[in-house]
Amino acid sequence: MNSILKFIILVLPYAFMVLGFGIYDRATPYLGGMPFFYWYQILWIFLAAILTSIVYFIENREEKKGVRA
């Protein structure tokens, strides 16, 4: 897998959690009574798991192909 692409995918959560503080430092909109500040974290728990899994599946598939070749 292209190492630059891998780097970009893995670094995305940091961009949105650290540099993106201004995005989530707010109470609204609420979701089920939960301020945005809180449910933005829930959103990113799933996104981070998905992003890392994508890298894993691509690497894994490439590795299997490499073995056959």
Partner 1 sequence: MVNPFSDLDYVLFFAVVIIALFVGFIAYLWRRPKTMEDIQEWGLGGRRFGTVVVWFLLGGDLYTAYTLIAVPGLAASSGALAMFAITYGIMIYPIVYATMPRLYNVSKKRGYITSSDYVKDRFNSRFLGMLIGLTGVVAELPYIALQIVSISYVLRAMFLPATITLIFAFALVAIFTFVSGLRGPALTAILKDAIIWVAVIAIVIYIPYKLGGFQPIFADASKYFAATKAGANAPLFESPTLGVGYTTLALGSALALFLYPHGVTGTLGSKDTKTIKRNASLLPLYNILLLMVAILGIAAVVVQNGVFTPATSSFAIPYLIRDEFPTLFTSFAYAAIVVGSVVPASIMAIASANLLTRNVYLEYINPNASSRTQSWLSRFLVLVVIAASLAFSLLKVASGDIVFLQTLGGAIVLQTLPSIYISLYTRKLSKYSVGLGWLAGISAVLYDQYLLNFSGAPLTTSTFDFMYVGILGLLVNLLVVLVIHGISVALGKVKDEGIIDNSEFTIDE
Residue pair 51/12 in contact (Cβ under 8 Å)? The answer is yes
In angstroms, the Cα distances linking 50 to 18, 30, 55 are 19, 24, 9
Residues 1 to 60: which contact partner 1 by CB under 8 A?
Answer: 10-11, 13-14, 17-18, 21-22, 24-27, 30, 32-38, 41-42, 44-46, 48-49, 51-53, 55-56, 59-60
Closest to 9 in 3D by CA, of 39, 45, 53, 46: 53
Q: Tell me which residues touch partner 1 (CB under 8 A).
A: 10-11, 13-14, 17-18, 21-22, 24-27, 30, 32-38, 41-42, 44-46, 48-49, 51-53, 55-56, 59-60, 63
